[in-house]
Amino acid sequence: MANQEEITQYNILQSIENGEQISQRQLSSQMGINVASINFALKKLTKRGLVKMLGVNSRRMKYILTPKGIAEKTQLAYKFFDRNFHFYKAVRKDVENKINSISFNGGNGNRVALYGVTDLMELAYLVIQDKEELDLVAIVDDETKIRIFGYHVIGIEEINTHTPDFLLLTKELDAEKVKQIPDCTKVVDIRI
């Protein structure tokens, strides 16, 4: 994982690069870090030649990224992406393993619905799309009236109209809602 100092530096560099004239107090508020820490980080970035401070009044200081600062921000972004991509691949593999462990019924009985509009649901959707034998018939959640991946999200009370063989849970389903699921639909928790 990225250390907190790298994250703080990246966020400061990003805010400065956006071209806004931003104060230490605004950075502090935006990032949820005290002003003293922002001040320390900015001095460190300035000393390293990544940021240039313009102005004489500390209350009206303008910060700009140097070419070296732009390069450092890009390097930090690639570093974060690389770490997160490895994490993404590991989580996707876990989801894929959970879905692969389900006993689907050959060509019949492979109608699935996903419950929960979450990041995990998005990964499950991608895994299901790779499996020709599975037919995603619905995305179900309490947050209806939204559309995701071309599906209108339906409420649990509408699940009967789509008759899935399996309901894959990507978030917790309370006991009252479980009662609304038809007996012919198997509920499988694929949360990690």
pLDDT in tens, 113-159: 999 999 899 999 999 999 888 899 999 998 777 888 989 999 888 88
pLDDT range class, residue 97, cuts 50, 70, 90: very high
Q: What is the pLDDT of residue 115?
A: 94
How far, in Å, CA of 116 to CA of 139, rounded? 7
**Spans of all domains in the chain:** 4-89, 102-189
| CATH value of 4-89 in 3.40.228.10, 1.10.10.10, 3.40.190.10, 2.40.10.10 | 1.10.10.10
User: For the residues 94-112, what does the mean pLDDT come to?
Assistant: 82
The DSSP 8-state label assigned to residue 162 in this structure reads: T
Count CB-CB contacts under 10 A for residue 102.
15
Query: Can you give the pTM of this predicted structure?
Result: 0.62
User: For the residues 164-172, what does the mean pLDDT come to?
Assistant: 91
**Residue whose tokens read 């593999």:** 93
How far, in Å, CA of 101 to CA of 143, rounded? 28
Range in 2-6, 47-51, 77-81, 169-173 the model is least confident about: 2-6
Q: What is the pLDDT of residue 56?
A: 67
Q: What is the pLDDT of residue 1?
A: 45
Coil vs helix vs strand at 94: helix
Give the chain's mean pLDDT. 86
How far, in Å, CA of 147 to CA of 134, rounded? 21
H and E: helices and strands count for the chain: 6, 8
Q: What is the pLDDT of residues 25-70, one digit of tens each?
A: 888 888 888 889 888 998 999 999 999 888 766 667 788 888 998 8
Q: What is the pLDDT of residue 112?
A: 93
- Nearest 5 degrees, angle CA 20-CA 25-CA 28? 95
How far, in Å, CA of 69 to CA of 54, rounded? 15
The CATH architecture annotation of domain 102-189 reads 3-Layer(aba) Sandwich (3.40)
Q: Where are the alpha helices (DSSP H) in 105-185?
A: 119-129, 175-178
For residue 63, which phi and psi values (nearest 5 degrees)? -110, 135
Find, among 21, 19, 65, the residue nearest to 46 by Cα: 65
User: For the residues 94-108, what does the mean pLDDT come to?
Assistant: 81
Q: How far is Cα of residue 94 from the mean position of the Cα atoms in its chain? A: 16
